[in-house]
Amino acid sequence: MNPTDTSAPSNFIHEMIEKDLETGRFDGRVQTRFPPEPNGYLHIGHAKSIVLNFGIAQKYNGKCNLRFDDTNPTKEEEEYVRSIIEDVRWLGYDWGERIFYASDYFDQLYKWAVQLIETGHAYVDDLSAEEIRAYRGTLTEPGKNSPYRERSVEENLDLFERMRAGEFPNGAKVLRAKIDMASPNMNLRDPVLYRILHAPHHRTGDKWCIYPMYDFAHGQSDSIERVTHSICTLEFENHRPLYDWLLDTLGIYHPQQIEFARLNLSYTVLSKRRLIELVENSYVNGWDDPRMPTLSGLRRRGVPPEAIRSFAERIGVARNDSIIDVSLLEYHIRQDLNKRAERRMAVLHPLKIIITNYPEGQVEMLEAVNNPEDESAGKRTVPFSRELYIERRDFNEDPPRKYFRLAPGREVRLRYGYFVTCTNVVKDEHGEIIEVHCTYDPETKGGYAPDGRKVRGTIHWVSAAHAINAEVRLYDRLFTKHNPLDAEEGKDYKDYLNPNSLEVLAGCKLEPSLSEARPGERFQFERLGYFSVDPDTTEGRLVFNRTITLRDTWAKIEKQQRK
């Protein structure tokens, strides 16, 4: 946090709020809310909204509620409520006692519906869904009034009460607002307010068989909660005139709605509908699959909540449709983890090396720094012995230009160990390298050369006899296309799923200190990337997820050399 700019407005919403604060509108209160529907898991797009709404409350000494907009019992489930609560908490926010549900307001909403009927602003319509659609008109042609539009107040009251009492089947009748069937804004062409749904609700059970539409619940819920600034995404701007109409004809407290552009991220999709499709059709292994842009997926992947927050703050808030480059998220993840993750050595693709002049049976405990970015993280020791594993890619029999690692006759530094020189390569009958022989210089213990000679390469290693085995799961972007929704003719986003988004490595070799690692813990495997312990880990079976690689400038050089 930069103390010099805490007062500076950082986006247009902050500016509006500050203006309201200055003019005394809302009596100087700031009240926001995060209003998810519990019909799916939260994703990083929601994180943008959460950080915005809770961040505003923090910045202006206000409050932010958590409210579930649970007006459709056929799509909503308790499991989603549970996961949403967990995810918002994990992100680091607290709503105190202020957890609400639109379903808490069903009684009040019903009364307001009656009030609209009594004042001649709503009516019960017997038209079928298809007929209502036909009567609605099109974007360019006005709609027609329903033949049931002029029913008497008494008849409407009676019918609505009988809807509530369960006398009619699903779809037989709806309650509609009486506004204007010729409005250029489709939302004002007598929108449906209540529909009949004989379905149990996850909170109200069998109490209701009619449920308010989102449009009839959202604005009033904000009103009930005395929300000052009701922040939502751009597609609801067209609904604002309806919310205004409802609030004003009801004569109740009127929050200010402000719309902003939702987050889009490159190489992924951020819509609940599509994420549900990926989960239900097993394109991924559940909502918390580490490839998913869900908060539970990112968490399992090892992404710290702090990284998501700083990312969400960096991307800004505006009204432009945009696609944020996923590399910006990756930057924030690395930025956070670099400072906090302890370093360890791990070999993902093991190649055995034998140090022929190192005494057989000897083991030395060598000191290694836990985090060069944080001295307080301290040090640890790692065992060194005659037989080690190094990364297969850190040896090259025929090294290309600028390759600094091990090769025949070359000397490299084993990190925190010794300088070693490759003397021999052992192959099997297929010509596959199975072993590399080296000699070491006993004078270079710890990786320092007393004569001051330089080596260009430093590689990591694990003592073969002391290594522990692990499974490591490597992830790549879920989609191969920058914008998977921008599909060619006859294709859809699923055609751009990356077939190589998951690679499972068995038999990886880890330094022994990692045997203590517990699910959720994060480490940097030196020279490889950041990894976290997967919850699949059990006693005797260690599983790591690669959160993200380190920046890899060698990969760039290689790429250029291939050209």
Partner RNA sequence: AGGGGCGUGGUGCAACGGCAGCACACCGGCCUUUGGAGCCGUGGAUCUUGGUUCGAAUCCAGGCGCCCCUGCCA
Residues with catalytic annotation? 37, 262, 272
Verify binding: residue 203, RNA, rule CB under 7 A: no
3 state DSSP class of 545: strand
Verify binding: residue 376, RNA, rule CB under 7 A: no
3 state DSSP class of 513: helix
* Tokens 């699910």 -> residue: 519
Torsions phi, psi for 174 (to 5 deg): -140, 160
- Measure the CA–CA gap between 137 and 139, rounded to whole angstroms: 7
CB of 194 to RNA, least distance (A): 8
CB of 546 to RNA, least distance (A): 14
| Single residue of 51, 64, 117, 196 touching RNA by CB under 7 A | 196
- Measure the CA–CA gap between 520 and 122, rounded to whole angstroms: 54
Distance of CA 252 to the CA centre of its chain: 36
How many residues comprise the chain?
563
CB of 210 to RNA, least distance (A): 10
CB of 317 to RNA, least distance (A): 6
**Which parts of 126-165 interact with RNA (CB under 7 A)?**
127-129, 132-133, 136-140
Verify binding: residue 71, RNA, rule CB under 7 A: yes
**Which parts of 159-178 interact with RNA (CB under 7 A)?**
170-171, 173-174
| Single residue of 46, 405, 473, 509 touching RNA by CB under 7 A | 405
| Single residue of 32, 53, 72, 532 touching RNA by CB under 7 A | 72
Give the range of 16-24, 53-61, 453-461, 510-518 binding RNA by CB under 7 A: 453-461
- For RNA, the closer of residues 32 and 458 by Cβ is 458
CB of 507 to RNA, least distance (A): 22
Q: Which amino acid is at 429?
A: E
Give the range of 6-14, 50-58, 379-387, 497-505 binding RNA by CB under 7 A: 6-14
- Pull the structure tokens for residue 344: 């360890």
CB of 544 to RNA, least distance (A): 16
- For RNA, the closer of residues 324 and 505 by Cβ is 324
**Which parts of 248-307 interact with RNA (CB under 7 A)?**
261, 266
Q: Are 390 and 349 in contact (CB under 8 A)?
A: no
Give the range of 49-57, 146-154, 290-298, 446-454 binding RNA by CB under 7 A: 446-454
Give the range of 192-200, 425-433, 470-478, 495-503 binding RNA by CB under 7 A: 192-200
- Pull the structure tokens for residue 189: 């062409």
Rounded to 5, what percent of the chain is helix, strand, coil? 35, 25, 40
- For RNA, the closer of residues 322 and 515 by Cβ is 322
311: nearest Cα among 336, 337, 335, 332: 332
Half-sphere exposure of 514 (CA within 13 A, CB side): 31
CB of 336 to RNA, least distance (A): 11
- Measure the CA–CA gap between 484 and 496, rounded to whole angstroms: 6
Q: Are 415 and 458 in contact (CB under 8 A)?
A: yes
CB of 540 to RNA, least distance (A): 28
- Pull the structure tokens for residue 323: 């696609």
Verify binding: residue 75, RNA, rule CB under 7 A: yes
Q: Cite the DSSP H helix spans in 225-286.
A: 240-250, 272-280
**Which parts of 28-47 interact with RNA (CB under 7 A)?**
37, 39
Verify binding: residue 6, RNA, rule CB under 7 A: no
Give the range of 145-153, 185-193, 200-208, 293-301 binding RNA by CB under 7 A: 185-193
- What sign has the CA pseudo-torsion 148, 153, 158, 162? positive
- Measure the CA–CA gap between 241 and 179, rounded to whole angstroms: 11
- For RNA, the closer of residues 82 and 133 by Cβ is 133
CB of 130 to RNA, least distance (A): 8
| Single residue of 86, 373, 387, 536 touching RNA by CB under 7 A | 373
3 state DSSP class of 170: coil
DSSP string computed for 38-105 = SSS--BHHHHHHHHHHHHHHHHTT-EEEEEE----TTT--HHHHHHHHHHHHHHT---TT-EEEGGGG
- Measure the CA–CA gap between 34 and 312, rounded to whole angstroms: 15
Binding-residue total with RNA (CB under 7 A): 91
Per-residue contact flags (x/-) with RNA for residues 330 to 369, judged by CB under 7 A? -x--xx--x----x--------------------------
| Single residue of 43, 178, 195, 301 touching RNA by CB under 7 A | 195
Verify binding: residue 452, RNA, rule CB under 7 A: no
Beta-bridged to residue 509, according to DSSP, are 347, 469
Q: Are 189 and 137 in contact (CB under 8 A)?
A: yes
| Single residue of 46, 63, 201, 239 touching RNA by CB under 7 A | 239
**Which parts of 463-522 interact with RNA (CB under 7 A)?**
none
